Amino acid sequence: MRLHPIDSCRPALRARPRAAIEVIELAGEIDGSMMLELSALIGSLIDQHRVDIVLNFSRVEHVHYRGIDLLMERSRQLRSLGGDLKLVGMSRYLLDIFRAVDADGFFDRYESLDVAVGHPIAVTAHPEAPSP
């Protein structure tokens, strides 16, 4: 599956299957409207029973902090369905943004895509806001 941005000036948002895990490649600056698009994309994957999802942040420069709650909401939904939402390639700057809204310990994070897809997706529910 490939999704291309509606406007070529917008950051890239593309999903591609990798084994049983759906990988969403992100790039550029992820603003509030892009977070809404990302949430909708995750929702469409859930509708297709694709509940193991990895977000690749390795090419992301900035994330608007107000959209992080949308990712947390989708993560809770995925976990309730036996899946999960993993984050890959987060810079220290992006981690600081997640930390500012108390979301840094909420998601499983990995340095590389290969490591993330090599780890089984957790099937047990995670605490709502685990301690880092």
Q: What value, to the nearest 5°, has the Cα angle with vertex 5 and ends 90 and 13?
A: 20
Does position 128 have pLDDT exceeding 50, yes or no?
no
Structural domain boundaries in the chain: 13-118
The answer on pLDDT for 28 being more than 80 is: yes
Strand order in the sheet with 21-30: 13-18, 21-30, 52-63, 84-88, 108-110
What's 13-118's CATH class? alpha beta
pTM recorded for the entire structure: 0.75
pLDDT tens-digit map of 30-89: 999 999 999 999 999 999 999 999 999 999 999 999 999 999 999 999 999 999 999 999
Non-local (6+) Cβ contacts of 77 within 8 A are 46
- Encode pLDDT of 74-112 as tens digits: 999 999 999 999 999 999 999 999 999 999 889 989 887
